[in-house]
Amino acid sequence: MPQQIVKRRSRGFICVNAHPEGCRRNVERQIAAIEGSSDASLPPVPGETFVPHNVLVIGASTGYGLASRITAAWGYDARTLGVFFERPPDDSKTATAGYYNTVAFDEYAKRDGLFAAHLNGDAFSDECKREAMALIRRDLAPLDLVIYSLASPKRTDPRTGVVHSSALKPIGQPYSNRTIELDSEKVVEVALPPASEKEIADTVAVMGGEDWRMWMDALLSEGLLAAGACTVAYSYIGPELTWPIYRDGTIGRAKNDLDNTALAIREMLAPKLDGRALISVNKAVVTQASAAIPVVPLYLSLLLKVMRRKGLEESPIEQMRRLFADFLTVNQPIESAGADEHGRIRLDDREMREDVQREVAALWPEVTTENLLALTDFAEFRKEFRNLFGFEVEGVDYDAPVETDVSW
């Protein structure tokens, strides 16, 4: 395909195309953030700390998974396998952002002599797991770190063939609150009916821990995990303001299931490998997954404003640098490294600070369509969202033609 000029195309708020050069810059910036880290514990002292050498990241092409993979590779020289589900380019369409992110990841990994393998497929399927196992056995075994960072609207159960679709709804009673209607950029009242039992079960089937467990079962039974191997999945809790739709809603049920799965995997790994299974509760950030949750865009627009003003804001790469440096590679029980009473790593500590949440809650009822840009950081939210697709990225000439038909 000849080079072409790529302008952002949107359906409502969502971008339906992606800019390869913008995506490359995003990846480059994240690598630079890790390489330029002044963090004393990066890189860790060999022998005294847990150093991940061989890392599998499931959900590795965008958001927290991509940031985890970059941290492992450029922070610790780890060999990585990334699993993700992204659309390649074709004659009429650009690829998805996660695809171009991976092209860039691969390019920089080759430049820096880092081993990187990629698997583009449905991580929920047996076939993808089989392919991953073969690849790991050949190039990456034994794994010492497995990051589970999938966010998906649906999952086909590999045993039954049933397609489960998640529903982001409250449980038990209807919920209404203000939100930003992203397509019209208006502040509106949203009313959500409570989820049915089936919707709750479906959401747990998609975003709960069953698939994580299947991955870990397969890796353990095939002997592909190192002694002391660690696995981490990501969760979110958030403030009371969002609990009816998040923590106490369908997605919260799925995250509870993920918590329980961590315990089950821990029991499975501990006796055989002295391995660990952890939950990291991350900060709310702008990703394709989070923008889809009702109420979250308004919450994030306010949170960005408050946290930026206080100098507390962190991007996914900064969160992941902290996860690795302060928790994963520290050779002490997770409790003494600062886990909560349920043994979860809390990277949301700054977001959950009392003063931050007090200010967000005070601004919340004041926001209207008219003062949206003044009172909140919606402009930054929108920019960060477009950045995810490689648009409005600093330093990119959007009038210059780019090659869209690229691969790793």
175 is catalytic: no
User: Of residues 199-258, which lie at the interface with ligand NAD (CB under 6 A)?
Assistant: 234-236
Task: Count residues binding ligand NAD (CB under 6 A).
Answer: 29
- Show contacts with ligand NAD in window 78-107 (CB under 6 A): 83-86, 98
- 247, amino acid identity: R
**Binding pattern to ligand NAD, positions 117-136, x when CB under 6 A?**
-----xxx------------
How far apart are CB 173 and ligand NAD at their closest, in Å?
A: 24
Distance CA 76, CA 324 (A): 9
Distances (CA, A) of 370 to 7, 187, 219, 245: 28, 9, 53, 25
Q: Is 151 in the site for ligand NAD (CB under 6 A)?
A: yes
Task: Write the interaction track for ligand NAD spanning residues 283-302; mark x where CB under 6 A is met and - where it is not.
Answer: -xx-xxxx------------
- DSSP helix/strand/coil, 228: strand
- Binding to ligand NAD by residue 149, rule CB under 6 A? yes
Neighbours of 137 (CB within 10 A): 13
Under the binding rule (CB under 6 A), the answer on residue 327 touching ligand NAD is no
> Which listed residue (64, 99, 100, 246) is catalytic?
246
| Tokens representing residue 164 in the block | 């489960």
Options 37-45, 57-65, 137-145, 356-364: segment touching ligand NAD (CB under 6 A): 57-65
Q: Are 90 and 96 in contact (CB under 8 A)?
A: no
Nearest approach, Cβ of residue 400 and ligand NAD (Å): 27
Taking only Cα atoms into account, the Rg of the chain, rounded to an integer number of angstroms, comes to 21
Alpha carbons 56 and 131: distance in angstroms, whole number: 13
Q: DSSP for 253-280, please give it.
A: HHHHHHHHHHHHHHHHHHHHH--EEEEE
| Buried-exposed string 107-116: b where 16+ CB fall within 10 A, e elsewhere | bbbeeeebeb
Q: Which listed range, 22-30, 62-70, 130-138, 356-364, lies at the site for ligand NAD (CB under 6 A)?
A: 62-70
- How far apart (Å, rounded) are the C-alpha atoms in residues 69 and 391? 22
Selected range binding ligand NAD among 146-154, 198-206, 240-248, 356-364, rule: CB under 6 A: 146-154
Q: Which of 20, 44, 52, 59 binds ligand NAD (CB under 6 A)?
A: 59
What residues act catalytically?
Answer: 246
Binding site for ligand NAD (CB under 6 A): 59-65, 83-86, 98, 122-124, 149-152, 234-236, 282, 284-285, 287-290
